[in-house]
Amino acid sequence: MRLTELATVIRSKNAGPRVLTLDLIFPDAASFAKVEAAAARLRTEVARAYGRPAEEVSVITYPPANAVKIALRRDIMAGDPDDSDVYGAQQHAPLLEITL
């Protein structure tokens, strides 16, 4: 199952200038449960898609919103000369390719 077929929201944003947070929001408890059951697999897939070791990827499930939150350390501080996305709002694209 592809994340794009399950989730109604797939987004990224900074949580402070050093952390990137990725949210997956699902339309109902059933689709959320499928991803929750595959949370370990999701973590390794996110690590692969972003080119990081899995230990650096935090995955938190959040049943009140049928959501999964992923947090990654930013390699580059928001707004540094090397930064390409000051708000971190376009770093979700690698998630669109993930299949669980």
At how many degrees (to 10) do helices 39-50 and 29-37 cross? 70
In this structure, how many other beta carbons lie within 10 angstroms of the beta carbon of residue 22?
A: 22
Q: Where are the beta strands (DSSP E) in 1-100?
A: 9-14, 19-25, 57-62, 67-73
30 binds other proteins (CB under 8 A): no
In whole angstroms, the minimum distance from the beta carbon of 28 to other proteins comes to: 10
31 binds other proteins (CB under 8 A): no
Which residues bind to other proteins, rule: CB under 8 A?
A: 9, 13-19, 21, 23, 25, 48-51, 58, 60, 62, 64-67, 69, 71, 73, 75, 77-82, 84-87, 90-91, 93-94
